[in-house]
Amino acid sequence: MVRLAVNGGEAVAKDLGRLIPKWPIFDEDDVEAVVEAVRGGRWCRLYPGSYAERFEVEFARYHDAKYGIAVANGTVSLELILKTLGIGLNLGDEVIVPAYTFIATASAVTEVGAIPVFADVDPSTGNIDPKDAEAKITDRTRAIIAVHFGGYPADMDALTSIARRHGLYLIEDAAHAHGSEWRGRKVGAIGDMGSFSFQESKSLTAGEGGMVLTNSDELAERARLIHNIGRVIGKPGYIHYILSSNYRLSEIQAALLLSRLRKLPNEVRVKHENGKLLADMIRRIGVVEPTRSDDRVTVRGYYYFVMLYKPEELDNIPKDVFIEALRAEGVPVGESYGPPLYRQPAFSRGNLIKAVPRHILERMPNYEELNLPGAEEFARRELVLPHQILLAPREALELVAAAIEKIKEHADELKPLVSKFKVSDITHRR
Ligand SMILES: Cc1ncc(COP(=O)(O)O)c(C=O)c1O
């Protein structure tokens, strides 16, 4: 008799682990590139013709941008962007950020002395809702940060038009979206400045790393100055023109990224196609649905394959129980970031006092009072698969679908498990 794996039956997708490439992937070219950088003896980028310089040029070219500035990670890349735009120099500067994202999108704002203002997200994508973003604009707003959640481009038409109308900077947090396209244009270079992460789980990685993209000569020059502790290339290294920090990427990471970048376009193509296949497969089954399709999204680079859980199609079994059941069948499913950011402990008054200067804290909203319906719904329903599943053969996608189908057919077996799994309060406001 067939039973769910969570109840001791055989896992239908037990071979999935073997089929999904072990992340991070690398080949002998990548190893050689790192060895060459190590042997070369120049491990810091402060030489002409550095790996970092070459990587910046290649990465910017692939993303249709004029300039790239390579940095240590995708958190400081956001901080560098905000500093370059002068955000945080005036007391009370506000930046509108989506309420559902990785915390760095918002913590970068507080790190430069500005105030994050949360806008709601579209519950069918997790991306910032342009209407709510516009409603949150005040005379202190300086910028909007759009995150391309999971690699699904935010509505860049609406956001560009809002930013233009209100005289705001539009910043793209493209940490999830290497290679994604909005109406044929790569994201990350559509707004004023874009930010990428090369942390280990990302589509392009050297363990850590980040990139700032821009098409503006002036902003690129200023970002370069700030990223290199106020030095100007071509002038003596002991003269510093502005007080700032060191954001530089190491040469060994840059060499690895340069090598990996050559494979990225093909990986993006494969993930885009497999993402469509998997979306079709799960749409037919029900229980979970893929993010909504939009013809303006011409390429999806994928960091997460996002699925939205529909408990009403599974006897109202809580999401946590569904996750346990799917994992037991062999599918590496999980949640991305848990609660909307305003419910993270870091945004409680008690913890803000320890992190934010008093004169800024006084001007901050009470985040604990927020309750944005789109972000709450997205938090309640979202499930994610890691992007490398989309680099696996079609058989792997079929196993994911088979596991969902099996759970759907045996939903009655899940009922007794509901009381066994504690549903976390912080993640799901009911
Ligand atoms: C949306 C988003 N922004 C920023 C970052 C920060 O990148 P890093 O981990 O390289 O600092 C991440 C990392 O996961 C992210 O997901």
Section 306-324 average pLDDT: 96
Active site residue 173: yes
Question: Which residue, judged by its Cα, is nearest atom 5 of ligand 1?
Answer: 74
- The pLDDT confidence band at residue 428, using thresholds 50, 70 and 90, is very low
Q: Which of 162, 98, 122, 169 is nearest to 294 (CA)?
A: 122
**Which candidate in 63, 248, 272, 406 is catalytic?**
248
Active site residue 202: yes
**Which candidate in 238, 284, 354, 358 is catalytic?**
238
Question: pLDDT per residue over 112-131, tens digit each?
Answer: 999 999 999 999 999 999 99
Cis amide linkage into residue 24, ω under 30° from 0: yes
Same-domain check for residues 308 and 399: yes
Q: Residue 21 C-alpha to ligand 1 middle, in angstroms?
A: 22
Question: pLDDT per residue over 41-82, tens digit each?
Answer: 999 998 889 999 999 999 999 999 999 999 999 999 999 999
What number does the ligand 1 atom closest to the CA of 73 have?
A: 10
Same-domain check for residues 246 and 144: yes
* Domain assignment present for 423: no
* Burial class, 1, CB count within 10 angstroms (exposed 0-12 / middle 13-18 / buried 19+): exposed
Please, are residues 142 and 170 in contact by the beta-carbon 8 Å criterion? no
Same-domain check for residues 137 and 242: yes
Q: Residue 285 C-alpha to ligand 1 middle, in angstroms?
A: 32
Same-domain check for residues 10 and 55: no
Section 200-215 average pLDDT: 98
Same-domain check for residues 109 and 126: yes
The answer to whether the CB of 84 is under 6 A from ligand 1 is no
Same-domain check for residues 110 and 61: yes
* Domain assignment present for 402: yes
**Which candidate in 51, 59, 62, 102 is catalytic?**
102
* Domain assignment present for 364: no
Asked whether the predicted pLDDT for residue 427 surpasses 80, the reply is no
Same-domain check for residues 337 and 380: yes
* Domain assignment present for 357: no
Same-domain check for residues 191 and 87: yes
| β partners of residue 210 | 71, 197
Of 210, 239, 263, the one marking the end of a domain is 263
Active site residue 231: yes
Asked whether the predicted pLDDT for residue 423 surpasses 70, the reply is no
* Domain assignment present for 429: no
Question: pLDDT per residue over 26-39, tens digit each?
Answer: 999 999 999 999 99
Domain membership of residue 227 as a residue range:
28-263
Q: Residue 197 C-alpha to ligand 1 middle, in angstroms?
A: 6
Residue 413: give its domain's CATH number. 3.90.1150.10
Give dist(CA 148, CA 161) in Å, integer: 17
Q: Which of 70, 273, 302, 64 is nearest to 186 (CA)?
A: 64
Section 407-418 average pLDDT: 94
Question: pLDDT per residue over 371-386, tens digit each?
Answer: 999 999 999 999 999 9
Contacting residues for 49 by C-beta, under 8 A, at least 6 apart: none
Of 263, 278, 304, the one marking the end of a domain is 263
* Domain assignment present for 150: yes
Question: Which residue, judged by its Cα, is nearest atom 10 of ligand 1?
Answer: 74
* Domain assignment present for 358: no
* Domain assignment present for 355: no
Same-domain check for residues 223 and 93: yes
Question: pLDDT per residue over 344-373, tens digit each?
Answer: 999 999 999 999 999 999 999 999 999 999
Chain position carrying tokens 């244009």: 185
Say if pTM beats, i.e. exceeds, 0.75.
yes
Active site residue 199: yes
Same-domain check for residues 143 and 280: no
Residue 53: give its domain's CATH number. 3.40.640.10
Of 209, 242, 263, the one marking the end of a domain is 263
Same-domain check for residues 124 and 137: yes
Same-domain check for residues 256 and 394: no
pLDDT the model gives residue 425? 47
Pocket test for ligand 1, best of 197, 204, 257 (most atoms within 8 A of CB): 197
Total domains present in the chain: 2
Length of the chain: 430
Query: Phi/psi at 171 (nearest 5 deg)?
Result: -110, 135
What number does the ligand 1 atom closest to the CA of 76 have?
A: 11
Question: pLDDT per residue over 236-281, tens digit each?
Answer: 999 999 999 999 999 999 999 999 999 999 999 999 999 999 999 9
